[in-house]
Structures are given as C-alpha cells and as structure tokens.
Amino acid sequence: MIKAKINNVDVGVPEGTTILWAARKANFTIPTLCSHPDLVPGGQCGICVVEIEGIPGLKRACMTPLGEGWRVHTHTARLLEIRRQLVELILSYHDTDCLTCIKNQNCELQTLAATLGINTVEWRGFEEKLPIDRSSVSIVRDPNKCILCGRCTQVCANVQTVNALAVNHRGSDTVITAAFDAGLGNSVCINCGQCVVHCPVGALYENSHIERVWDAIHDPEKFVVVQEAPAVRVMLGEEFGMEPGTLVTGKMYAALRRIGFDAVFDTNFSADLTIIEEGTELVSRLKTGKNLPLITSCSPGWIKFMETFFHDMIPHMSTAKSPQQMFGALAKTYFAEQRDIAPEKIVSVSIMPCTAKKFECQRPEMRASGFQDVDFVLTTREIGRMLREAGIDLNEMPDEKADNLLGEYTGAATIFGTTGGVMEAALRSAYFLVTGRELEGIDITPVRGLKGIKEAEVDIDGLKVKVAVAHSGSQARKLMEKVEYQLRKEGKSEYDFIEVMACPGGCVGGGGQSWGSNMAKRARRGESLYAEDRSLPYRRSHENPSIKALYEKFLGRPNSERSHKLLHTRYYKRSTVDGNIIAE
Amino acid sequence: MVTENQCHCEQAQEEELYGKLKEVIEGHKGKPKELIMALHKAQNLFGYLPRKVQEMVAEGLNVSLSEVYGVITFYNFFSTVPQGRNDVKVCLGTACYVRGGQALLKKAEKELGIKAGETTEDRRYSLGIVRCIGACGLAPAMLINNDVYGRVKTTKMMEIIKKYE
C-alpha cells in the first residue's frame, strides 16, 4: 500500500498505481488526451503532467506510479498554463472544422479544449490540407485531424499484431500511414477498425454507406431489406444514451421499420444457419479426421488476417460463409422466390458492429445470387446517425417483431456477438448432429468470458472434442503459431475446433461500435447477449422452425449442392506486403 | 528523377547485389533488434533502399514492413531514392539562410530539374540540404561531396557544379 497526498488529500493505493488513477480515487480528474483505459500509457501528449514536491521537472500522471509519501499537485498555476499551451499547440496544426467533422460532439480533443477553457489559439501552423486516404473500402484516414497520439498504431501493432499503421517520417512531417505511404487499402490492414474505435479525434472513421442507403430507401422501385448482427442489439441503445449492454431487439426492429426498410429481418437467423452448415462440416471432419482443427470463418477481419499471415491454414478453415453473407445470398434467392420479388429490385443492407464487413460484402466471390449479395453495410454508429437524422428516438420505440422467413432466431445465434459464442452454439448443435440427443447442461461456460485464449473439452458420445477460442489478432496469432507448430511437428493438433474473432471481446468489441467504447462496456454487452440467450424459447440452432422450413422448401439438407453454391466460400493467399491476393 | 527501373546492362549487377543482400539478411535472420544494422549494410550495398530491399529485410528479420518503413523515413541517413555520383548540398543554416541559401537551392533545383532529396535521371547529381556545416563566415555555403564552397553566387553556382562529372 502506498500512502501519499494529492493536492493535500490523503490517498492510499496499491503499489504500482499510477498518479492518474490515484488522483481519481481522491476525486481529482487529471485531464488526459492520449491515455486510454485499454491501452498501455505512452505519454505522447503530455497533457496529464503533474508536479511532485522535491522531484525536479514534471511527471506524466498516466505513466508514473505513485511513490510513498509523495506530495503531488495536479492543478498549480504552472500546470494549468502548460496544459493550455499544449492543447493550443495541438490545435494550431489540427484541422478545426469541427462543425462538419464526423466526431463533432464525440471528440476527445474538443471536450478537452472545452474543459480547459481554450478560447483562442495564438499560433496557426496548419495551412495546406493533406490528401485524405480513401483507398480502403472500410476505413477512411484523415491526416489533417490526426494528433499523433499513437493509440491507433499501438492497437494495430500490439493488440491486433497487424502492423498496418505506423509512425512515418519525422518532425513536422510526421504522419501515421501504411508502409510506403501507400494507403490503408493497399496495405496488410484487416479492416477490423480497432484504430477507428480508439482514435480520440476524427482522423479515422468508417467509409460511410449512409447516403447510398438513403437513396435506396427513397427509391420506390427498390425493395430494401435489412439484417442486424447479434451484437448490434446490445450496442445500439448506447447511441441513444442507454446504459452499455441494454438489449433493444424489439425497439430496433420498430425503428428500422419506421425509417423505411421494406422488410426487417435478422442476421441471427442466418447465424443459426451458419451453425447448421458449420456444425455439419465439423461432424464430417471429426468422422474422417481430416483437416482438423476446423476453424470458424464468421469474422471477416480474422479471414483477411488468416489469408495474409497464416494462409497455410486455409484447408482448416470452415468453408461456411459468415451469417451476413449467408443472409445476403438467401435474400436475393430464397426470399425473392418465396415473395415473388425480382432479385434485381432487392437492395440488401446489413447493420454491423464491424468495419470489415464493408470489405467482406464487396469481395468478388460474394455474389452467389448472381448479384452482390449484400449491397451496403452500416456500422452501429451509422444507423444511429440515420435514426437521429430521421428524428427517431430508440427510447420511444415499441417492441416489435422481425419479419417472417429470415427473422426467427434461437439463443445459440444471439451469443455469436461475443467471444466464445459461435463455439458454444456450434457445440450445442454438433452434439445433437452426432448423437441425436441434446447436450446436457446447455451452458458451456469455459468458452465464455474475456480471457485471451479459452480452452474446453466436450465429450460427444465418448469422442473427446478439444476446442479453443481466441479473440483479437494477437491472441489469434499466438494460437495459430501453436497449431502450426503442432501440425508441423506431430502431424496433428491437440485441438479439434477453434473459434477466432478478430476484435477484442468478439463482435461486441467490433470496429463499428459506438464512440468511446472500452473493454468494460464490451463485457456488459456480452453479458446481455447471454441473458437474451437464457430468455429465448429455443436455444439450439437446429430447433429454429424457420431454419427447418428453409431446408425443407429450398436447400434440401445441410452441405447440399445448393447450400454449397449459396452458403459456402473459398479463401485466398494474400501478400504480407500489400494484402493483395497472390494465389487462389 | 530516377525511378527504380534499371536498364538491362545493370541487371546482372543487380542480381549480384541481391545475392549479397541475402547473405546480409542471413546474418540477422529473425533478429528484429538488428534492423538498423541490417538496413545500414543494405544501403551500403545498393546506395539506397529500394522497396524490394525493404520487403526482403522485413521478412528476413521478422519485422513488420510498416516498422521498417517507419525507421527508414525517420533517419536522415537512409534514403529511398538512388544517390547520384555527386552529392550537392546547399547549406540552409541560419547564416546561410539569411545570406541567400534559399535562392541557391531554388537555382540548383531549377537548373538540375530536381527537388531537394532527389537524384537526376543520369545519376550525376543528388541534391540535398544541410543545416550548417560550420562555415558561417563564408555564407552562403555549398558542399559538393567533400569540397566546401563559400560565398557562392547564384550566377556562378552552376559553373562549380558542372565541374563534377
């Protein structure tokens, strides 16, 4: 226990606690800019400097552990002046067109400037605008807004181990770009959008599909269908001031109907379908023993990560498409046929907690219906913006139901939105597919929670199935390196089935979530999904009546020829230089 | 400005260089901490660090390409464009600046048809800037390879430069 005084207030904190957190305990909020609760402090911005009696110079509160007996001062005249000057200097080279900035009212720099009472900037260093990087289909980077805080590079290098973004050049020319300043679209970027959700300012944001979706909604010739990912229902409430993790499924359907979508469906329906297709694949691989472990393929960020850094694992990947793309293929075939609507009139929109889904939907192989299966992808933030623009307050919405055919779902589908969910859902159905009986104890708790890599063993009629779950690029890398090593050395891996999600926490931590998210909020969203699972009448994908009807009326059986044509996909080897396809 | 494309007569030589580069990389294989050392040697071989060399070093040392590029663009010593046979540097230190260094640089850029940091098509000259060479009394000064020229006039500048083949 360290005892010290902060602004003459006594504090006692465990050893190693930074001055920043110790001060919060004493009810003093030291202003910060580059600091983020989920990242390692880097001390780039210097806003959080404090004075300590008897220690010369200033210390950065975010990275200085409190010392025994220290007398710390956090708001002396000198400190206030230094902080103001630092913010003024940042503003002097910042493109301050705040009113038209994507982060207006959500910007940490804007908030800080207001907090510190900055009312004039004495210097002006910002003159010529640098070109905005629009090379990526998922993410836009505006260097004019960048304050070089380093959160994006830290999350890209350390949390995701993708290393697409780095600090390049020097001095006043310093800029955060991909290698060779080539643009994110010509780099190894996996489109996960973790840089976007960690950026304190408007330097990184999604490539918006809002205008094109409005155009489709307003076009009377078009029939616009919408699907929403599992994680969106525990995230969208935050866009309207609700507590993190509030479940808003019914309100979400009502709001989407009111904004003008012609049919409101649910990605959860196709998540159940994914489980049937992937579960069938798992069972057949367990029987033959070939290409084990089977690895899940729902996360488009993980797919590009695997294609770039671990393409030797392609034979192990499940060929099942992600729920988004399964839905897309069915909307323009099954739904079009059942409702007698010409598929070319259907515009398929998805609402995702994800920026990589924007990349996935435009992959050339995702045209099983003969058209682009999913036309537009909106992040949770984008649909929040659209609803506000239309004057629809989610808080005031009644609870409605999704439309028939592609709307019904089970508890197994809804937990897709959090790390371990796909694994749990798949095991519930795989057990049934193998034994014809239901798994006792439906909750498979060892695969739940936010531990980096989770392992479990499930006994399916005497057959021991060992599974592992990884979330975030760094944990996926660790697990894949282990599997590759085992395959090389022993010819087989200890694992039979692996789930990987590219984002920390799974989809509830995706690059399309609300601004200002952190791991604590991600955890609460995950808990809400498990609560919804418990509340639903069906909790196993194979029990979904609409899925049964789909197989009876249209697909035949799981992994049938038609399923393969519409619901399965293939992968490419990609270059570690620019992420481009190098081989089939 | 010279691009990375080379004429055929240089191809054989280039292959030999890449062979040597592979040996250099082998010596630092899988050791990310030796990045700067490896880049140093690579630049000594090629005279600069073309894109392909950066890619090979990144892969060999198990360093991400973005980090390699970040290091190269940070350190002044490393160059991503080929260097000319003669290194022309105009001083823009305080004394030279106030006595017309900027005009000298503009003149050189115009006459050689390149910007500071670039190399002429025939690789005869590279043009650069230095921040003080300790010849403030002779401002404005110019440095060509290891020769210092003081009190350079824009009208006489090209005469001096042309002496260097």
Nearest by CB: A163 against B59, B67, B73: B67
Residue A255 near residue A386 (C-beta atoms within 8 A)? no
Mapping DSSP to helix (H, G, I), strand (E, B) and coil, where does residue A501 land? strand
Q: How confident is the model at residue B5 (pLDDT cuts 50, 70, 90)?
A: low
Q: Which fold has domain A91-206?
A: Alpha-Beta Plaits (3.30.70)
- Which CATH entry fits the domain spanning A2-75: 3.10.20.740, 3.30.1600.10, 3.30.230.10, 3.40.50.300? 3.10.20.740
The string over A536-564, giving b where at least 16 C-beta atoms fall within 10 Å of a residue's C-beta and e elsewhere, is: eebbbbbbbebbeebbeebbeebbbeebe
Residues of chain A contacting B51 with CB distance shorter than 8 Å: 180
Helices A473-490 and A300-309, packing angle to 10 deg: 50
Q: Is the dihedral of CA A309, A310, A314, A317 positive or negative?
A: negative
In this prediction, residue A122 carries a pLDDT of 85
The string of pLDDT tens digits covering residues B30-88 is 999 999 999 999 999 998 999 999 999 999 999 999 999 999 999 888 989 888 999 99
Residues of chain B contacting A178 with CB distance shorter than 8 Å: 66
Examine the pLDDT at B161 and tell me if it is beyond 90: yes
In this prediction, residue B10 carries a pLDDT of 66
Examine the pLDDT at B6 and tell me if it is beyond 60: no
What is the Cα–Cα distance from A400 to A417, expressed in whole angstroms?
Answer: 21
Quick one: average pLDDT of A553-562? 94
Test A576 with B68 for CB contact under 8 angstroms: no
Q: Do domains A2-75 and A91-206 have the same CATH topology?
A: no
In this prediction, residue A439 carries a pLDDT of 82
Kindly list the residues of chain A whose beta carbon comes within 8 Å of any beta carbon in chain B: 157, 163-170, 178-180, 187-188, 576-577
In this prediction, residue A42 carries a pLDDT of 87
The string of pLDDT tens digits covering residues A423-457 is 999 999 999 988 888 888 889 999 999 999 999 99
- Concatenating the DSSP letter of every residue in A163-190 gives ---EEES-GGG-EEESGGG--GGGSS--
Examine the pLDDT at B4 and tell me if it is beyond 60: no
CB contacts < 8 Å between A and B, how many? 41
Examine the pLDDT at B103 and tell me if it is beyond 80: yes
Q: How confident is the model at residue A319 (pLDDT cuts 50, 70, 90)?
A: very high
For chain B, give me the number of helices (H) and strands (E)? 7, 4
Nearest CA in chain A to B73: A169
- The secondary structure of residue A276, as a DSSP letter, is H
Test A187 with B68 for CB contact under 8 angstroms: no
The string of pLDDT tens digits covering residues A214-265 is 999 999 999 999 999 999 999 999 999 999 999 999 999 999 999 999 999 9
Test A179 with B66 for CB contact under 8 angstroms: yes
| C-alpha closest to that of A60 among A87, A33, A88 | A33
* Domain boundaries, given as residue ranges, for chain B: 8-74, 86-162
* Domain boundaries, given as residue ranges, for chain A: 2-75, 91-206, 211-583
In this prediction, residue A343 carries a pLDDT of 96
Q: Is A112 or A442 the better-scoring residue by pLDDT?
A: A112
Test B74 with A577 for CB contact under 8 angstroms: no
In this prediction, residue A126 carries a pLDDT of 66
Residues of chain A contacting B52 with CB distance shorter than 8 Å: none
In this prediction, residue A173 carries a pLDDT of 87
E-strand spans in B69-141?
A: 86-91, 125-130
Examine the pLDDT at A380 and tell me if it is beyond 80: yes
Alpha helices by DSSP H, listed for A310-355, are: 323-330, 336-339
Whole-prediction pTM value? 0.91
The string of pLDDT tens digits covering residues A152-184 is 999 999 999 999 999 999 888 899 999 999 999
The string of pLDDT tens digits covering residues A92-108 is 989 989 999 999 999 99
- The residues of A annotated with a catalytic role in the active site are 278, 281, 298, 318, 357, 360, 365, 507
Q: Nearest CA to CA, how far is A474 from chain B (Å)?
A: 14
Nearest by CB: A180 against B64, B69, B74: B69
- Average pLDDT of chain A to the nearest whole number: 95
The string of pLDDT tens digits covering residues A327-351 is 999 999 999 999 999 999 999 999 9
In this prediction, residue A584 carries a pLDDT of 76
Test B66 with A170 for CB contact under 8 angstroms: no
Residue A244 near residue A525 (C-beta atoms within 8 A)? yes
What DSSP element (H or E) covers A382? helix A380-389
Give me the architecture of the A211-583 domain, per CATH.
3-Layer(aba) Sandwich (3.40)
The string of pLDDT tens digits covering residues A383-406 is 999 999 999 999 999 999 999 999
In this prediction, residue A447 carries a pLDDT of 93
Quick one: average pLDDT of A16-25? 96
Nearest CA in chain B to A156: B66
Quick one: average pLDDT of A6-35? 96
Mapping DSSP to helix (H, G, I), strand (E, B) and coil, where does residue A130 land? coil
Residues of chain B contacting A188 with CB distance shorter than 8 Å: 64-66
Domain B86-162 top-level CATH class: alpha beta
Q: How confident is the model at residue A512 (pLDDT cuts 50, 70, 90)?
A: very high
Nearest CA in chain A to B78: A169
Residues of chain A contacting B65 with CB distance shorter than 8 Å: 163, 179, 188, 576-577
Q: How confident is the model at residue A465 (pLDDT cuts 50, 70, 90)?
A: very high
Q: In this structure, what token pair is assigned to residue A227?
A: 């699907």
Nearest by CB: B66 against A163, A169, A170: A163
What is the Cα–Cα distance from A472 to A459, expressed in whole angstroms?
Answer: 28
Quick one: average pLDDT of A449-475? 93
